[in-house]
Structure 1
Amino acid sequence: MTMQTKKKVLLIDDEKDFCFFVSRNLEQTGEFQVLTATNGEEGISLARKEKPDVILLDIVMPKVYGPDVAEVLVADPKTKDIPLIFLTAVVTEKEVGVESIKEIGGHNFIAKPVDTERLISSIKMVLK
């Protein structure tokens, strides 16, 4: 897969180790190019500049809370059409069930810890 056909994923999460492992796991498939931001403000800026195909967004972060980041992205004409998937440790997979993806406020979400195969299938689902 060439760089142009890879889907661009923006991961916004304050946990640097989590960003590293998710980025590595997605990029190893050869299907994704992953950009990371470790806070909401940086994530908003990168989303506007890079226009990713999908945004993976942590809910609980310092400074700017994930849902507030989502609100800014949805209100911005440059980013409003980018699919958004919340990643959260607030609820567990056991609490949300075995389906790969659920919704919070109209946005999809996946419980942490994130299973790579489930994450990939969820990304592909929102990109259809």
Structure 2
Amino acid sequence: MGKKILIVDDEKHILQIVKFNLEKKGKYEVVSANDGQEGYEVSIKEKPDLIISDIMMPRLTGLEMCKLIRENDEVKSIPLIILTAKGQDNYIEEGKKYDVTDFLTKPFSPRELLLKVREILGE
């Protein structure tokens, strides 16, 4: 397996689709979390090379998780891709405050996701 990617999303079907595409087509090792709190905990435990997260989730939102990650010296340098829905442009501005690396608008194609991941990971 290649580099490790953490996917954080409370929608199981999104997790499954993203995980499948990253593992099968991208040859990445994928770990997952179902909300921002779990995502933060998994990021500390697993130290992934990249985090892909939804915004709207229970317990901690994706942006709240980003804030915690950026405040923690162990994981603050991990690149972050935030998944947004159409019309959530206000979150992009907020995400920039937390040094979010990039944004991807849902719905997105598997190819678009892989290209963005490879670009961020320098592949």
| CA positional deviation for 1:90 | 4.6
The verdict on how the C-alpha distance between 1:91 and 1:124 changes in structure 2, with shifts beyond 3 A counting, is: farther
Give the Å deviation of 1:48.
Answer: 0.4
Q: Give the one of 52, 67, 78 matched to 1:56.
A: 52
Moved over 6 A (4+): none
- TM-score scaled by structure 1? 0.83
What per-residue deviation string (whole Å, max 9, x for no partner) do you get for residues 16-71 of structure 1? 11101110111111521111100111111110011001000111111211111000
Residue of structure 1 equivalent to 2:117: 123
Please report how far the alpha carbon of residue 125 of structure 1 lies from its aligned counterpart in structure 2 after TM superposition: 1.3
Match of 1:114 in 2: 108
AA in 2 matched with 1:82: I
Q: Distance in 2 between matches of 1:126 and 1:76?
A: 21
Q: Pairwise CA RMSD of aligned residues?
A: 1.8
5 Å-filtered alignment, 1:69-108, equals: 69-91=65-87, 104-105=95-96, 106-107=99-100, 108=102
Secondary structure at the residue paired with 1:80? Answer: coil
Supply the distance in 1 between the matched residues of 2:114 and 2:20 (Cα, whole angstroms). Answer: 13
1:10 partnered with 2:6: yes
Counterpart-to-counterpart distance in 1, 2:35 and 2:86:
18
Distance 2:12 2:85 in 1: 15
| 2:50/2:78 contact within 8 Å kept | yes
Number of residues of Structure 1 aligned to a counterpart in Structure 2: 116
Q: Contact 1:58–1:66 (CA<8 Å) still a contact in 2?
A: yes
Q: Tell me, in whole angstroms, the C-alpha distance in 2 between the residues paired with 1:19 and 1:86.
A: 14
Contact 1:91 1:111 in 2 (8 A): no
TM-score, length basis structure 2: 0.86
CA contact (8 A) 1:11 1:55 kept: yes
Q: SS at 1:36's partner residue?
A: strand
Report the structure, 1 or 2, having the larger helix content.
2
Identity of aligned residues (%): 37
Matched, 1:35 2:41: no
Partner Cα distance (2:14, 2:54) in 1: 10
